[in-house]
Amino acid sequence: MAQLATIAPYTAYKPRPFTRAQRDKTTILYGGLTWKHERLMQGVLRNLKYNAEPLPNIARDDLDAGKELIDTGACCPTIFTTGSLVNFLKKEVAAHGKEEVNEKFVYLTAGACGPCRFGQYHESYTMALDGLGLRDFRLFLLAQDELDQGSADGGGLEINLPMSLGLIWSILCGDLLVDLEYLTRPYEVNPGQTDAVLKDSVEYLYEVFLHRPDRGKKYGTLAWHLMSNYFTKALREVRKKWDAIEVDHLRVKAKVKVTGEFWLQTHEGDGNYNIKRWLEQEQSEVVPPPVAVWLHYLLHPEIRKLEHRNSKSKHPQLQHMALQGLEKIYRGTYNRFRKALANLPNELPDQVELKELAEPFYHFELRGGEGHMLIGKALHAYHHKKAHMICELSPYSCMPNTMSIGSMANVLGKYPDLLYAPIEVKGDAEVHALSRCQMILTEAKKRAHAEFEDVMNKTGLTVEAIRKYEANHPEVRRATYKVPHLGYAGMASNYVTHLARNCGVARA
């Protein structure tokens, strides 16, 4: 009788215990955000006495490594991030062998549930571990909606309030630095100065997180994070560093708001064709997407559910008030940090406004990815004149983004002058994606120049008069000088209007 092949039944992945005794010899790997966020997160983890290293930034060959090992229909962020872990582990295995790698590293990643693949990333990682023969490698999930998860099996990793609050605070600070960076670099007078100051600021804040005082594991640490001036003081020091950068706000740039799928829009590297740097080289100012908006968004479904009385809570009114209080504290903290940086970074958009703007086109209960936010953000930028165009980064094979792009057709029918570039990102079609973006960008640049000419005519100012004023008032050429938003998308247009209206620069 022919021998039947043995088929191994499916067994769900369960990490081996990570014990407290192993902590000193084990390194926690993580990734998925920008190098700025990741360095500050490293400060938080090292402050809690963990060895922690971010994975190398995503590279093009991570896509190939991911494709080889996980299901071919996966969305491109899943493939890239899995490939990044795979390539790292392959190198380590080649250098030290499987057993040592299984003992030396654990991987910590965000987990969620929901209708898109974000809830299944860990399945892709475990599929890849199987493919590499590293089933014993340990992978832990940091739930997005649970700040105090307690100890992972073995007690080596404790996902508690000091860790969660530290990571959230480091993300907020990372976002603020990213905002400063993109606001400044297109206008810097001395090329490279913004990047140098940025690096210095990140290292400074890394030390701040590394030396964060211990205030216990429960309410003491919560109260300290909310009330201490430890971080605002540090951010004021950062502001002083940015004071040194000289800028020229008369440069006319198209302002491009980057939206899209969470990972793709946040990422800086091959995963999205380095599109933010490319846009800057193409004479634009990029409005980057803060991670903080996503964290804010996570609070809202619960609030909406309670409003619609379909919550399972026994005390819906109390819970509603608690969530609204939490939201106020969250926004208040972000604004406190912004204030320490002269209010230069952008404000968080109002989630209720985003929902209402999107409502006619995309229902807020359609979850997955960024849900209704992509429509809401595009319309928010359009109505408030916060950008000349929207560049929406949509991963190949992403269900929520496909729906959002479909709905945007309806939005554009109603607002035909909204400049919108939906860029499908597969990871290996750079020329196609960038040339598509360039088509819309050309129109955005024309608008930026027309807007500027209009402002110059309206104010009657000349470049010579402005330069003369700047020579006598060098503070207006500092990166920390706040140019108010006076109804124009472009920085140069707002700057000239501000000089004419508020600084008394006279007509020629």
Burial class (CB in 10 A: 0-12, 13-18, 19+), 416: exposed
Which of 318, 315, 281 is CA-nearest to residue 437?
Answer: 281
Least separation in angstroms between residue 136's CB and ligand SF4 is 27
* Helix, strand, or coil (residue 83): helix
C-alpha separations of 147 from 137, 161, 217 in Å? 25, 6, 11
Task: Examine residue 110 and tell whether it contacts ligand SF4 (CB under 6 A).
Answer: no
Q: What dihedral angle (degrees, nearest 10) is formed by the CA atoms of 390, 393, 396, 402? A: -50
Task: Examine residue 404 and tell whether it contacts ligand SF4 (CB under 6 A).
Answer: no
Task: Examine residue 271 and tell whether it contacts ligand SF4 (CB under 6 A).
Answer: no
Task: Examine residue 260 and tell whether it contacts ligand SF4 (CB under 6 A).
Answer: no
CB contact at 8 A, 285 and 491:
yes
Q: Hey, what are 493's tokens?
A: 């247009």
Binding residue (CB under 6 A) for ligand SF4 from 375, 398, 479, 505:
398
Per the document, the length of the chain is 508
* Site size for ligand SF4 (CB under 6 A): 13
Task: Examine residue 362 and tell whether it contacts ligand SF4 (CB under 6 A).
Answer: no
What mask, x for binding ligand SF4 by CB under 6 A, covers residues 200 to 239? ----------------------------------------
At position 147, the amino acid (one-letter code) is L
Least separation in angstroms between residue 266's CB and ligand SF4 is 11
By C-beta, is 204 or 396 nearer to ligand SF4? 396
Residue 29 CA to residue 17 CA, distance in Å, equals: 16
Least separation in angstroms between residue 12's CB and ligand SF4 is 20
By C-beta, is 126 or 401 nearer to ligand SF4? 401
At position 153, the amino acid (one-letter code) is D
Binding residue (CB under 6 A) for ligand SF4 from 63, 65, 108, 116:
116
Binders of ligand SF4 in range 60-79 (CB under 6 A): 75, 77-78
CB contact at 8 A, 206 and 39:
yes
Q: Hey, what are 454's tokens?
A: 């209009």
Q: Which stretch binds ligand SF4 (CB under 6 A): 34-42, 177-185, 273-281, 399-407?
A: 399-407
Residue 497 CA to residue 504 CA, distance in Å, equals: 10
Binding residue (CB under 6 A) for ligand SF4 from 371, 395, 422, 427:
395
Q: Hey, what are 183's tokens?
A: 């606001």
What mask, x for binding ligand SF4 by CB under 6 A, covers residues 12 to 41? ------------------------------
Task: Examine residue 111 and tell whether it contacts ligand SF4 (CB under 6 A).
Answer: no
Residue 34 CA to residue 201 CA, distance in Å, equals: 15
Binding residues (CB under 6 A) for ligand SF4: these are 75, 77-78, 116-118, 261, 369, 395, 398-401
